[in-house]
A and B are shown apart, each in its own frame.
Chain A
Amino acid sequence: MAKKGWTRRRFIQAGLLTTGAAALGGFAKPTGLWAATPKIKGPIKVGYQAVMSGTLAGYGDFHRMGATMAMEEINAAGGIAGNKLVIEFRDSTLKTPEAIQNARYFVDSWEADFLAGVDSSGQALALGPVMAELDRVLMVTHAATEKLTEEQVFKNGIKQIFRICSPTYQDGNAAAFVAKDLPAKTWATVSPKYEYGYTCWEMFKNTLGKLKKDVSFTGESWAPFGTTDFRPHINTILDAKPEGLYSTEWAGELITFVKQAKQARLFERITHVMFPVGAAMDVLEGLGAEMPDNIWISGRYFFLYPDSSQNNDWVQRFRKRWNHYPAYVSETGYATMFAFKKAVEAAGSKDTAAVIQAMEGMQLDSPAGRRVFRKEDHQAMYDVPWGLTAASDKYPFKIMGKQVMVPAKDCFNRPPFEGDESKPPF
């Protein structure tokens, strides 16, 4: 009995102590810009959705690692304008109605101030009108379709949508800039049989065709979602005898494709191979030493670029926290939280209209380097290198050896997104 009373007293004491400390902390912290803006009330709530089930569930985990780490760091340093940052995660699956229901739950039921995430392009496009109705900022961290920013934001004026990751321009246009300096004159593709695959190949063909007059495109083979046997596709391509292969296969399917292509000696017969999303960590780690050397790879971020102290420190912290190298969705998820922080603190408010205004044209120093959110279409402009795979003593997987940089300003389509002047080369 006596013991119980003691525990209760201790409990109350501890409680008072924590409250006191929190109150003190609360008083001590506000400095600088946001000390004068006490009108932001309560925690800043971010609803984050990513695919957390099925074969791509690993991507959801990497999203979560990046965003969670940003939340921990931001809160340890005093939060956003003195307010705690809170994130709730939800499984978006890959189906559109799920994504819409999640967004509506976040805003209308959980009362989120911001939304982030989204992997599939179809989901991102479908969320356009929903975001306009809910009137919250959505930062897209993975879906890459250029239609999102060109049509939904620029043409339809849905200003609530921003994108922090690089879009299909990096996969299609930038690849063409790299390919123009390669000796290959005939190109073929094995790519996913859905919009992403078609769009990238189309962009690659158009841009390369303009950059280099004497190229031709000799073979196409489209692999449906969930393909496990790529041999028919590999044979189609080998029969076409191209000098270069371009493939936007990604995640587990790219791993399978590379393994089967190796067995078919594809990499000996086609010397110039480009994988626009080959620099994703799940692919590099999944293939390990099996990834051939001298393959052109890129991604939406690669942890060894840029070689800046901000990036290197971040990769170290990420390693320490999660025991993984950061995937590109970890970086985009992480940077998203800092983009919200910067925009809210600059606007002095978390109201959607004010945040949109602050975010348009905003510069953000992130692990991937300096991003600028283009005012017209809300696309983050930042540079990601293309590089040739090479073995390294320091890592149990292949990394980018020789790197080529195609700056975003040269390879991203430009407003008004109509006619040839909007597309590179400029």
Chain B
Amino acid sequence: MNRHLNAFIAGLALAIMILIGLFGSRFVIYLTSRVMILSIFAMGYNVLFGRTGLLSFGHAAFYAAGAYGLGLYSLHVSSHPLAGILAGIVCACLLSVLIGFFCVRHTEIYFAMLTLAFGMMVFSLIWNMRSITGGDDGLVGIMRAPIALGLVAIPIIKPQAYYFLILLLLIVSIVLIYRIHHSPFGLVLAGIRENERRVAFAGVSLKNYRLGAFVISGTFAGLAGALAALLESHAEPFSAHWSHSAAPILVTLIGGLQTFSGPIVGSVVFIVLRETIERFTHNWMLWFGLILLVIIMGFRGGIVGILSRWRK
């Protein structure tokens, strides 16, 4: 019964997304594109945060690695978008292996602070390597060239076409992350979160599994960053700033920390709420903060968590 309901909701959501892509106005398509990119970022992040129980403040660095990887590749090597996205993902993956290697030796606050420090290191590198990264101006002029697939080319310069590319990659990400969560690997991650000593006694290398989770989440952050850079035609240094690392954390908390669909619901609430509040007041930050506070404190387990409890 529950399973059928979930499948029904997923199907309905997909239908709505396709309808938005087909009939939505340019602004709705843009906003939904941003929701999807944030969803990818947050879902990947949740592999580490919700599943493994590690709080990272440095994931903006991997997001930026994806954005700058794509940007530099498309400006200097080839403007093929899929190759660019792949370049961004590879950059983010390598960077997360490097940073993760040093961070996963620690847990809790030490882990959080280490990721914060490494993340800010990446930020200052981007800020200061002006000849490569453009400093605070960022990378300007990233174009959405058509996707050339042998005989056909899909012109993703149209927001609508690009929307469907993001939607496709979102679905792929959801399926992948679902598989990861339900694989033996994912179950060990949950085990580490619940009782790491017991997992260690079972003969599992905590470090390797944590590193695995770290790299997976960093890679998805890179995918999100690359997609965002293509969406905005621009890569900017503040995407690596620690304050940007807070976005997936907030989104996950709003949606539901230990739920699968929480980050997606959280992303929708995060972006739509902000956009709505800004239409009424200039002090949007104040109201936004207050409402987030109410959601996070009032809905323990997030929106999805509360809903699934009601259903039971």
Q: What residues of chain A have their CB less than 8 Å away from a CB belonging to chain B?
A: 52-53, 89-91, 94-97, 100-101, 104-105, 108-109, 120-122, 125-126, 128-130, 145, 147, 156, 193-195, 198, 225
Q: Complex Cα distance A194/B136, Å?
A: 6
Give every chain A residue within 8 A of B234 (Cβ-Cβ).
96, 100, 125-126, 129
Which of A104, A121, A126: most chain B CB closer than 10 A? A126
Do B26 and A198 have beta carbons less than 8 Å apart? no
Do A125 and B275 have beta carbons less than 8 Å apart? no
For chain B, what secondary structure do more than half of its interface residues adopt (helix, strand, loop), or is it mixed?
helix
Q: Complex Cα distance A195/B129, Å?
A: 11
Do B136 and A91 have beta carbons less than 8 Å apart? no
A91 and chain B: residue at smallest CB distance: B282
Do B130 and A96 have beta carbons less than 8 Å apart? no
Do A52 and B282 have beta carbons less than 8 Å apart? yes
Do B233 and A195 have beta carbons less than 8 Å apart? no
Do B135 and A126 have beta carbons less than 8 Å apart? no
Say whether B228 faces chain A, with CB atoms less than 8 Å apart: yes
Measured CB to CB, the closest approach of chain B to A139, in angstroms, equals: 20
Measured CB to CB, the closest approach of chain A to B133, in angstroms, equals: 11
Give every chain A residue within 8 A of B134 (Cβ-Cβ).
195
- Contact with A147, one of B130, B137, B284 (Cβ below 8 angstroms): B137
Measured CB to CB, the closest approach of chain A to B118, in angstroms, equals: 19
Do A198 and B27 have beta carbons less than 8 Å apart? no
Do A104 and B278 have beta carbons less than 8 Å apart? no
For chain A, what secondary structure do more than half of its interface residues adopt (helix, strand, loop), or is it mixed?
helix
- Contact with A90, one of B34, B232, B236, B278 (Cβ below 8 angstroms): B278
Interface residue range, chain B: 20 to 34
Interface flags, B224-245, vs A, CB<8A=1, else 0: 0000100011101011000000
Which of B233, B284, B285: most chain A CB closer than 10 A? B233
Give every chain B residue within 8 A of A129 (Cβ-Cβ).
141, 143, 233-234
Do B27 and A125 have beta carbons less than 8 Å apart? no
Please report which residues of chain B, range 228-278, place their CB below 8 angstroms from some CB of chain A when the two chains form the complex.
Answer: 228, 232-234, 236, 238-239, 275, 278
Give every chain B residue within 8 A of A121 (Cβ-Cβ).
136-137
Give every chain B residue within 8 A of A225 (Cβ-Cβ).
136
Do A97 and B138 have beta carbons less than 8 Å apart? no
Measured CB to CB, the closest approach of chain A to B8, in angstroms, equals: 31
Say whether B30 faces chain A, with CB atoms less than 8 Å apart: yes
Give every chain A residue within 8 A of B275 (Cβ-Cβ).
101, 105
Known: A91-B284, A95-B238. A126 touches B278 (CB 8 A): no
Give every chain A residue within 8 A of B135 (Cβ-Cβ).
194-195, 198
B30 and chain A: residue at smallest CB distance: A104
Say whether B140 faces chain A, with CB atoms less than 8 Å apart: yes
Q: Complex Cα distance A97/B134, Å?
A: 17
Say whether B25 faces chain A, with CB atoms less than 8 Å apart: yes
Known: A52-B282, A53-B285, A96-B238. A145 touches B26 (CB 8 A): no
B159 and chain A: residue at smallest CB distance: A133
Give every chain A residue within 8 A of B284 (Cβ-Cβ).
91
Known: A91-B282, A97-B236, A195-B135. A104 touches B140 (CB 8 A): no
Do B232 and A125 have beta carbons less than 8 Å apart? no
Do A95 and B27 have beta carbons less than 8 Å apart? no
B278 and chain A: residue at smallest CB distance: A90
Do A122 and B130 have beta carbons less than 8 Å apart? no
Give every chain A residue within 8 A of B128 (Cβ-Cβ).
193
Measured CB to CB, the closest approach of chain A to B158, in angstroms, equals: 10
Say whether B127 faces chain A, with CB atoms less than 8 Å apart: yes
Measured CB to CB, the closest approach of chain A to B233, in angstroms, equals: 5
Q: Complex Cα distance A106/B213, Å?
A: 40
Give every chain B residue within 8 A of A53 (Cβ-Cβ).
285
Do B282 and A145 have beta carbons less than 8 Å apart? no
Give every chain A residue within 8 A of B285 (Cβ-Cβ).
53
The 7 A-B pairs at the shortest CB distance, nearest first, are namely: A108-B27, A194-B136, A126-B234, A96-B236, A109-B27, A129-B233, A108-B26
Q: Complex Cα distance A92/B239, Å?
A: 15
Q: Complex Cα distance A351/B284, Å?
A: 32
Q: Complex Cα distance A53/B140, Å?
A: 25
Do B34 and A101 have beta carbons less than 8 Å apart? yes
Q: Complex Cα distance A109/B29, Å?
A: 11
